[in-house]
Amino acid sequence: MTKKELKEFLDTKAAQYEHPQFLEYDPLQVPHRFSKKEDIEISAFLTATIAWGNRKSIINNATLLMELLDNAPFDFTMQHQPRDLDRFQDFVHRTFNGNDLRYFIQSLNNIYTRHGGLEGVFRAHQTKDSLQPAISALKKTFFELPHLSRTKKHVSDPNTGSAAKRINMFLRWMIRSSQKGVDFHLWKMLSPSQLSCPLDVHSGKVARKLKLLQRKQNDAKALAELDANLRKMDPKDPVKYDFALFGLGVFERF
């Protein structure tokens, strides 16, 4: 395909998959159950944190996680007593367990109390063209309380070479337009032009087939390469192509 044909193809696929029907099979359905800004943020952040592996399992465990938070994630985060965290003891999703969840709630409480919430951290550390430095700042802020070393692996850091797929996905949810009923556009002081594509096995495989990505590893360098090519097609909203790459990979076995 020519560059023009490739853009037209991906624009069509992005429009096809950015549809509310997408939510039926996607973990993003979990934060869509809430209406309050902070509930959406916290449920989305926790859902994105465990969003690896089988999607049905992710949705089931994210639903269970919300039940453990009394289906009021912000109120629970801000008003819980230490004994309330004991209910997390048996929670597990792959390598994310109850001890990790206990710390996540404590840290989120700290972030909303002292740092202006999750949005406040990203706004404070954004650059004009990227939120990758802000992801690194989030990890530093997130672990400023005493914590188990094992829990740190559940928050990615681009400065250590990670593509930070799950946090980039969370940021897409928070920042992109809500007009099509999928993403939320909650954080209006941050721009879709700053976003990076959530790079995983599926999107990486499709991107390589379409010659949008040469690097073989799905790491921070690959993300920078993919970002540059997606921005050439749409500098204002490059991450709309996440829907195209993901849909082609998961639903069409492209």
**pLDDT single digits (tens) 50-59:** 999 999 999 9
Q: 62, 74, 71: which is closest to 26 by C-alpha?
A: 62
> Model's pTM, two decimal places?
0.96
Q: List the domain boundaries for the chain.
A: 3-250
CB of 233 closer than 8 Å to CB of 241: yes
Each residue of 60-103: pLDDT tens digit?
999 999 999 999 999 999 999 999 999 999 999 999 999 999 99
Give Cα separations from 122 to 93, 102, 118, 175 (angstroms).
26, 23, 7, 11
Determine what percent of the chain is predicted with pLDDT higher than 90.
96
Each residue of 201-249: pLDDT tens digit?
999 999 999 999 999 999 999 999 999 999 999 999 999 999 999 999 9
Q: Is the pLDDT of residue 17 over 90?
A: yes
- Compute the distance between CA of residue 17 and CA of residue 36 in angstroms, rounded to an integer: 26
Structure tokens at 179: 């007009």
Pairing of strands 92-93, 96-97: antiparallel
Residue type, 124: A
CB of 235 closer than 8 Å to CB of 193: yes
